[in-house]
Amino acid sequence: MPQQLMMELLANLAQVGGGGGGGHGVDARFILIVVIVVVALLLLVKGGGGGARAMHMTRTCRDCGATHPGFAKFCRRCGKRL
Ligand SMILES: [Zn+2]
């Protein structure tokens, strides 16, 4: 899915570059900016998905009621097994 998006973007950029006979340096910079934005978006989507999943999975200590992320095995406050 992300690779397909990249291919579509690159195809669009190639078309834009071919149509206008403008400065080559500006085009290269534009492509660089688009690539950086796409990579940043992909990282955001990855990180956001993991964060949302971690937010949903919470464990509550039965002894003291402290909440912990889903991967926690022991209570941070009282040390009991969750
Ligand atoms: Zn506890």
What is the predicted pLDDT for the residue at 67? 94
By DSSP bridging, strand 67-69 and strand 58-60 are antiparallel
pTM for this model (two decimals):
0.33
In a domain, 78, yes or no: no
CA of 71 to the centre of ligand 1 (A): 15
In a domain, 27, yes or no: yes
* Average confidence score pLDDT of the chain: 80
In a domain, 23, yes or no: yes
CA of 66 to the centre of ligand 1 (A): 6
In a domain, 8, yes or no: yes
First-to-last CA distance in the chain? 38
In a domain, 12, yes or no: yes
Please tell me which residue, 46 or 30, carries the higher pLDDT value: 30
In a domain, 47, yes or no: yes
In a domain, 60, yes or no: no
Q: Which residues surround ligand 1, an ion (CB under 5 A)?
A: 61, 63-64, 66, 75, 77-78, 80
What is the predicted pLDDT for the residue at 12? 73
Counting the structural domains of the chain, the total is: 1
18: containing domain = 2-55
> Tens digits of per-residue pLDDT, 22-36?
555 678 899 999 999
Report the alpha-carbon distance of residue 48 to residue 52 in Å, rounded. Answer: 6
In a domain, 44, yes or no: yes
